[in-house]
Amino acid sequence: MKRIILDVDTGIDDALSIVYAIKSKEIKLEGITTGFGNVSAEQATLNTLQVIEAAQPDEEIPVAMGAKKPLYRSKPSPVVHVHGSNGIGDYKFPYPKQEVEEENASDFIIRLLNENPHEITLVFVGRLTNLAIALKKDPTIIKKVKELVLMGGALKRPGNVTPWAEANIYGDPEAAKEVFGSGIPITMVGLDATTKADFREENLKELLEKMPEGNSKEKQLKHFLTHIIQFGFDSSIKMGEGKQRLLHDPLAIGVVINDNFVKTEEFQVCIETEGTYTVGATLTDLRRPQTEVNTKVCLDVNRKDFFKHFIDTLSNQHALMS
């Protein structure tokens, strides 16, 4: 059982990653930290509490809110065209019963790592701001993180927010620079891999066929998942990318569960923070074998096995089998 803290900026694929992590038998979700990104930190926190309630975990999962803006840059506007006005495809949930923790995200991360050294994997599927703040407050945690798995970056292919940069790194490049330079062992689940995890209509059909009708909560979860995936299809069509949804954030959870879902290669990755055109780019020296490496970069996906695990987990098939 892998113990993780998941850091999110809950939009559509974050929501899918939360449900995936909660339903996975291989993961113990110790807590979720939130920050700005797809939406504001406040909206991401509300969405996270609602998604947790819909997924009905066995135990309460604490949620701690973090950064409202990048380390040094101004507050961005939400990404409405991809995630809807509330981040989760305008889906309306009842107000959640669970409340956000009083402790903020970086203090929560620091405390859990100090209480459980070498035990916890950090999974970041939003900006790296909360971790950069935590590293500044308590640099001793660098040695206490088991591993960092992050969704972000694009090494050998174009970005998605600029031609060179991927959204999570571009969203706070200075924070990413701190983290990549910290010495924490990193697995980078970036666009090199996630653009090959295209969830399509036939995959949604399989998910819906396998999901139980069950009680009213299960019905609501099924309704919600259908809604956000369809919303994702529609926004991809509008952007000329066809009827599919890339499972960016869920793939980071998948990699924690089973690293055979991806192929990785090791590189020394650094972050551009000043380029006129290239701010937020993840860079490396591709000319020669790397003498020093800081990151395992995912370059390919075993799409069939990952999707099977994702669908079976969301539809409780693993629970039924065990």
Nearer to Ca ion, 36 or 108 (CB): 36
Annotation marks residue 309 as catalytic: no
> Minimum CB separation from Ca ion for residue 200, in Å?
21
Annotation marks residue 223 as catalytic: no
**What is the sign of the dihedral through the CA atoms of 208, 96, 9 and 137?**
negative
The answer to whether 142 and 135 have CB atoms below 8 angstroms apart is: yes
**Region near Ca ion per CB under 5 A, out of 7-15, 82-90, 194-202, 276-284:** 7-15
d(CA 289, CA 157): 19
**Region near Ca ion per CB under 5 A, out of 5-13, 155-163, 227-235, 279-287:** 5-13
Catalytic pick among 83, 248, 309, 312: 248
> Minimum CB separation from Ca ion for residue 139, in Å?
26
The distance from CA 106 to its chain's CA centroid, rounded to whole angstroms, is: 17
Say whether residue 14 binds Ca ion (CB under 5 A). yes
> Minimum CB separation from Ca ion for residue 172, in Å?
13
Residue 127: other Cβ atoms inside 10 A: 30
Site string for Ca ion, 214-253 (x = CB under 5 A): -----------------------------------x----
Query: What 3-state DSSP class applies to 121?
Result: strand
What's the first-to-final CA gap in the chain, in angstroms? 15
Q: Tell me the site size for Ca ion, rule CB under 5 A.
A: 5
Nearer to Ca ion, 149 or 211 (CB): 149
Per-residue CA distances from 189 to 60, 143, 196 (Å): 28, 22, 11
**Binding test (CB under 5 A) with Ca ion, winner from 35, 70, 89, 126:** 126
Say whether residue 125 binds Ca ion (CB under 5 A). yes
Say whether residue 105 binds Ca ion (CB under 5 A). no
Of the candidates 24, 49, 54, the residue with the CA atom closest to the CA atom of residue 34 = 49
The answer to whether 130 and 150 have CB atoms below 8 angstroms apart is: no
Of the candidates 306, 8, 6, 297, the residue with the CA atom closest to the CA atom of residue 154 = 297
> Minimum CB separation from Ca ion for residue 124, in Å?
9
> Minimum CB separation from Ca ion for residue 152, in Å?
9
Interface residues with Ca ion (CB under 5 A) are 9, 14, 125-126, 249
State the catalytic residues: 9, 248
